[in-house]
Amino acid sequence: MAKGYLALVLHAHLPFVRHPEHEDFLEEDWLYEALTETYIPLIKVFEKLIQDGIDFRVTLSVSPTLLSMLIDPLLQERYLKHLNGLIELSGKEIERTRHEPHFNALAWMYHHNFIQAREHRDIVRALKHLQDSGKVELITCAGTHCFLPLQEIYEPVVRAQVRAAVNLHQKVFGRKPLGMWLPECGYQPGHDVILKEEGIRYFLVDTHGILHGSPRPKYGIFAPVYCKSGVAAFGRDVESSKAVWSAIEGYPGDPDYREFYRDIGYDLDYDYIRPYIHPDGTRIQTGMKYFRITGANVDISQKQPYVEAWAREKASYHAGNFIFNRGKQVEHLNNFLDRAPLIISPYDAELFGHWWYEGPQWIDFLMRKIACDQDVIKTITPSEYLALYPKNQVVTPSLSSWGWKGYAEYWLEGSNDWTYRHLHKAAERMIELANLFPSGINGLHKRALNQAARELMLAQSSDWSFIMKTGTCVPYAQKRFKDHMGRFTRLYDSLKSNHIDAGFLSDVESKDNIFSDIDYTVYQTK
């Protein structure tokens, strides 16, 4: 048995962005970028590890909104078109840079990346295969990434979010998820009861959610605790998180790594790049970046060319450093604990590959070195650790989140607090509708009720309040929130007046087609 265990948990999530009413929609690029730069590279890493016989474990949370986009034929078709454009662009770049060896090598690198992405587009099938291999544990997240503590006053809202997530996960991957990544790690005491009723065995919280629990946890964050419901809670390890997340100390800021903000979509001549940016002429990220970070205080225009071999060497070094530090951490903890400690290292998946280009390489090196170069720590999934240590302390975790100050201040503050009076009123009205119409109703009324539930859930996405807080794409986030609230209100009024506009209903069903199996009766309280 190892002296300690590492659980690497990646949270793959994007808001539901799908606009069939537009031929080319700018924010849909969020999905295409994440597919090309994060999800496909990570899947390739995991598949190669399995092919090479490396014993490893990773836990991957796939949010229902992301999963819904991955299985959508329209977005699949548009992603293929997007990739074909990048392959064409990278081919032109190979020719344009033929007399610039540094840049030419990078153009070839991107060209191969895009071609491989086109060959590995069936993400869901690949994820299911990884799940079935036993190496990757797939878990879920609340339906539309709703920040659940701020919906506490309406239990049916929380239940609807959890049930929609579990049902979609089971439908796509063939089994119910054992765990749930609570959106923004937002935990409200008592929500674990709903998780248990929907079949969830564990969830993740931020460090202080465990440390401020009642009673105080005997093992700190280095072992799970059971809520009174019997659902386990796992707390984030601060040290391992800082090694990756910290803007000052984190690995992704190394000078040899690729610079995110120098992209040919902005650097090259407008007429040359025009066919590969947004149709309205807006310059965008293409994913082709030729420069390295170079230094913390180096002006963006003074960045030096990226050298792939240097970055790969640094990723190997940083993987070794991470393992060394976790080993020392485990050896220290063994002096105090009567069990092998568990280090929970949770990250947003999009950090790896998209923001930190070398992130997937780092994970590859990490898993290989853990399996082959040492015997102090071993990778594990949360459910495997629970099977190894089924007896755990009963603790009620505290109300908490991750993010600024750790108590929901990113999702409830001056830029977004206005949304909650609308969300709470809509939740009240959804419960009213569900109680007004009995189960078994069919036809237009049932469609309208189910679509009202979809619109409410889409409006509840924490992404809109997050974007409003960060100040990026604010008009889009505000419009999305108002659109969903407007559609919900129109459906509510039509159901109450018994005058349903079939044309309007069909239109919004085609646009907001998430959760095809949704059942509005989850909101019933009678």
Domains of the chain: 4-65+121-254+308-405 (3.20.110.10), 413-523 (1.20.1430.10)
pLDDT at 248: 78
Two structure tokens written together for 127: 């994820």
H helix intervals, 229-301 = 238-245, 264-267, 270-273
Is residue 42 over pLDDT 90?
Answer: yes
Please answer whether residues 361 and 410 qualify as being in contact, where contact means their C-beta atoms are separated by less than 8 angstroms.
no
pLDDT at site 300: 92
Q: What is the pLDDT of residue 333?
A: 96
Tell me the C-alpha to C-alpha distance, in Å, between residue 49 and each of 244, 367, 371: 22, 8, 10
296 — pLDDT class (breaks 50, 70, 90)? confident
**Cα–Cα nearest to 184, from 394, 408, 396, 357:** 408
pLDDT band at 121 (very low <50, low <70, confident <90, very high): confident
pLDDT at residue number 235: 97
Query: Contact at 8 Å (CB) between 375 and 4?
Result: no
Contact 169, 140 (CB under 8 A): yes
Peptide bond preceding 224 in cis form (omega within 30 of 0):
no
The total of other beta-carbon atoms located within 10 Å of residue 304's CB is 16
> Given CA atoms 497, 503, 504, 506 in this order, what sign does their dihedral have?
positive
The confidence band for 246, taking pLDDT boundaries of 50, 70 and 90, is confident
Give the pLDDT score at 249: 83
pLDDT at 404: 86
- 3-class secondary structure, 319: helix
For 233: left if phi > 0, alpha if psi spans -120 to 50, otherwise beta; the answer is: beta
Which H/E stretch holds residue 385?
Answer: helix 382-388
Average pLDDT value for residue range 250-279: 96
How far apart CA 394 and CA 406 sit, in angstroms, is 23
Secondary structure string (H, E, C) spanning 147-164? CHHHHCCCHHHHHHHHHH
pLDDT digits (tens, 9 = 90+) for 151-170: 999 999 999 999 999 999 99
Write down the pLDDT at residue 439: 80
The predicted pLDDT at position 78 comes to 97
pLDDT digits (tens, 9 = 90+) for 345-396: 999 999 999 999 999 999 999 999 999 999 999 999 999 999 999 999 999 9
CB-based burial of residue 215 (10 Å sphere; 0-12 exposed, 13-18 middle, 19+ buried)?
exposed
Assign 103 a pLDDT band (cuts: 50, 70, 90).
very high
The pLDDT of residue 258: 97
Nearest to 400 by CA among 387, 413, 409, 391: 409
Task: Give the pLDDT score at 13.
Answer: 98
Res 272: pLDDT = 97
CA distance between the termini of the chain: 52
* Mutual angle of helices 462-470 and 474-497, in 10-degree steps: 150
Share of the chain above pLDDT 70, in %: 100
161 phi, psi to nearest 5 deg = -65, -45
Are 180 and 98 contacting, i.e. CB atoms less than 8 angstroms apart?
A: no
Distance CA 326, CA 343 (A): 8
Q: What mean pLDDT is predicted for residues 455-482?
A: 97
Mean per-residue pLDDT for 446-462? 98
Angle among Cα 315, 317, 323 to the nearest 5 degrees reads: 100
Asked whether 177 and 166 are in contact (CB, 8 A), the reply is yes
The pair of structure tokens assigned to 503 is 């044309």
pTM for this entry: 0.97
What does the alpha-carbon distance between residue 189 and residue 396 come to, in Å, rounded to a whole number? 7
Per-chain mean pLDDT for the chain: 96
For strand 377-379 and strand 4-12, is the pairing parallel, antiparallel, or unpaired?
Answer: parallel
For residue 21, give both structure tokens: 């009413």
| Tokens encoding 143 | 């339906």
> Helix count (H) and strand count (E) of the chain?
20, 9
DSSP state of 439: T
Q: Which residues pair with 203 in a beta bridge?
A: 180, 233
